[in-house]
Amino acid sequence: MDEYSHFVDWDKMDVSAQGQDTKELTCTDFHELKQLARQGYWAKNHSLRAKVYHKLISNIPCRTVTPDANVYRDIVVKIIGKRSSSSLPLPEFVDNSLIPTYCLNAEGIGAVRKIILCIANQFPDISFCPALPSVIALLLHYSKDEAECFEQVCRILACNDPSKRLIDQTFLAFESSCMTFGDLVNKYCQAAHKLMVAVSEDVLEVYSDWQRWLFGELPLAYIARVFDVFLVEGYKVLYRVALALLKFFHKVRAGQPMESDSIQQDIRAFVRDIAKSVSPERLLEKAFAIRLFSRKEIQLLQMANEKALQQKGITVKQKSCLLMFQQNVHLAVHAENFKSEIVSVKEMRDIWSWIPERFALCQPLLLFTTLEHGCSLSRFYSHSEGHEPTLLLIKTTAKEVCGAYLSTDWSERRRGGNKLSFFGTGECFVFRLQPEVERYEWVIIKHPELASTGSETENHAQPASSTLSSSSVPSDPSDRLSPFLAARHFNLPSKTASMFMAGSSECIIVGGGDGQALYLDADLNHGRTSHCNTFNNQPLCSESFQISILEVWGFRD
């Protein structure tokens, strides 16, 4: 075997990884390298993969003082001494019960613990890094010795490129990534998300396993292919693959009874045995078929989730903080504290499972109801303004129930003066609860002519088309942002914002995904909808309807 086989038990290794093809990698162009990584160019040659890993990791921009192989040789004797590494306690920032061995031999398994202990010595600022043991174990398969593996892992941890996120090293970063993953599942895996809500009391706890699926449960042949692409493309790849795993889990297990009492355990078992149903190539193909948000948008969402956790005081993994966090999630819609004339506690909890994770930490707060405040649009605005986001609930005289999650403060409407003003972000959505449950994604106002037949309003509404003109977006595709988060929250150019809500003194319009749009008159007694049959979805509610009750809910910390 080659010089990179010192820690490998070849009896456990996939035979396809033992290819002797001596091809080399000379490519330096990023786009070409990305394609080669996705195609598995170096996946079937053990020595080539080791050399590619070394090259890619050596090119990671790092802090000026980053521990290298010589540091490891100096400190390992002092830290480990003559003791067996298996007898030494691991640092608290890793999960002691989950240290993958993959295809390592006995010496390699011991080396994982030694390297973890030495990294803890050199990186005292790491407070939570459950992926670290897996990364070390993986790289040991492709390292000449422990010192080389240590240096490569240190370079990954010491990356100082603000645009290149690699491994979470704090509880805040980890937990916000779990919330971000939950948001992505909510958008891109709605069928799987619906199953999670149905069978789990704590959906976020299920999604908090997402890194474990990758760095713990996936077999070596799979995580190595993921790591190939991860080193080239970065953190976003991990979200893609985790979403693909969840999609495959739902597809394979749909309609089947749970194999255990825990959906978490079922997903873990499915990922461990994924070779029975999905090949590595098919997994990556599925992952890259998902039209995911841009890297910048995901970074913004991660920032928003981190900010929400910081505001809750949840920055470290402490039992008191975790308990408070779990209580906020579980009890946000509590039977004793919640009363609506439109929806039940269960229905409100279903809605809560759809909203962005950072707001699912909050409790619902009734701001406005026609039963108490009357049917006045001005009162609607006065009670709703100053709250962001809000939830609109409507019950019709025909007992239909629909609503909308509105991401932006209604005071934004004033920017248009007396004209109908469009605003909002792509986190908005409309939904129906009765007679059947349906959520309509990617809200956008496609029928602004509903508001008025007057030319003035139509002209003002013109920018709210379903696609932005070529002149309204940056020319560089890497700089393009779809209107997912509010531009004003992150100092983004106004051109990146789009139109999902509209309000004036005479009407309200909420755009709906898949061609849905909801229009309410000023007296809050009548409404109507528009519907496009492009995707054969059922309409939000009757084309024209009378409002029985309307409620607006805010989000209370």
pLDDT digits (tens, 9 = 90+) for 57-75: 999 999 889 999 999 999 9
Residue 275 clears pLDDT 50, i.e. is over it: yes
Question: If pLDDT is split at 50, 70 and 90, which confidence band does 531 have?
Answer: low
Three-state secondary structure of 95-120: CCCCCCCCCECHHHHHHHHHHHHHHH
Mean pLDDT of 514-539: 69
Q: Determine the pLDDT at residue 396.
A: 93
Q: Determine the pLDDT at residue 130.
A: 92
Residue 496 clears pLDDT 80, i.e. is over it: no
Mean pLDDT of 105-109: 94
Residue 535 clears pLDDT 80, i.e. is over it: no
Q: Determine the pLDDT at residue 199.
A: 85
Most confident of 1-15, 343-357, 391-405: 391-405
Question: If pLDDT is split at 50, 70 and 90, which confidence band does 444 have?
Answer: very low
Task: State the residue for tokens 């995911």.
Answer: 292
Question: 544 to each of 190, 431, 450, how far by Cα in Å?
Answer: 29, 17, 12
Look up residue 401 and give its two tokens: 């129930």
CA angle 385, 337, 205 (to 5 degrees): 90
405 beta partners: 391, 429
Residue 329 clears pLDDT 80, i.e. is over it: no
Q: Determine the pLDDT at residue 322.
A: 47
Mean pLDDT of 402-425: 84
Residue 493 clears pLDDT 60, i.e. is over it: no
Residue 467 clears pLDDT 70, i.e. is over it: no
Query: Angle at which helices 220-233 and 46-58 pack, to 10 degrees?
Result: 30
Q: Determine the pLDDT at residue 195.
A: 87
The pTM of this model reads 0.78
Q: Judging by beta carbons within 10 Å of its beta carbon (0-12, 13-18, 19+), is residue 416 exposed, middle or buried?
A: middle
Cβ neighbours, 10 Å, residue 557:
10
Domain boundaries, the chain: 10-158, 171-312, 357-448+496-556
Question: 528 to each of 382, 434, 518, 538, 546, how far by Cα in Å?
Answer: 23, 16, 6, 15, 9
- Mean pLDDT taken over the chain: 81
| Contacts with 403 (C-beta within 8 Å, 6 or more apart), sequence order | 351, 391, 392, 393, 394, 430, 431, 433
**Percent of all residues in the chain with a pLDDT value above 90, rounded to a whole number:** 46
The domain made up of 171-312 has a fold known as Cyclin A; domain 1 (1.10.472)
Look up residue 253 and give its two tokens: 């297990």
Query: Which is nearest to 520 in space by CA: 538, 539, 544?
Result: 544
Distance in angstroms (rounded) separating the CA atoms of residues 411 and 50: 57
For 221-240, write each residue's pLDDT tens digit.
999 999 999 999 999 999 99
Question: 106 to each of 81, 110, 140, how far by Cα in Å?
Answer: 19, 6, 12
Q: Determine the pLDDT at residue 22.
A: 53
Most confident of 136-145, 171-180, 261-270, 499-508: 136-145
Q: Determine the pLDDT at residue 515.
A: 54
Q: Determine the pLDDT at residue 144.
A: 95
Q: Determine the pLDDT at residue 514.
A: 47
Residue 423 clears pLDDT 90, i.e. is over it: no
For 332-387, write each residue's pLDDT tens digit.
566 667 889 999 988 888 888 888 888 887 888 999 999 999 999 999 999 999 99
- CA terminus-to-terminus distance, the chain: 60
Residue 245 clears pLDDT 90, i.e. is over it: yes
Q: Of the given ranges (20-24, 299-303, 373-377, 473-477), which has the lowest mean pLDDT?
A: 473-477
Query: Which is nearest to 443 in space by CA: 418, 463, 425, 460?
Result: 425
Question: 429 to each of 333, 336, 403, how far by Cα in Å?
Answer: 20, 28, 9
Phi-psi region of 364 (alpha: psi -120 to 50; beta: other; left: phi over 0): beta
Mean pLDDT of 426-434: 85
Question: If pLDDT is split at 50, 70 and 90, which confidence band does 244 have?
Answer: very high
Q: Determine the pLDDT at residue 19.
A: 59
Residue 189 clears pLDDT 50, i.e. is over it: yes
Residue, of 191 and 477, whose pLDDT is higher: 191
Mean pLDDT of 126-147: 95
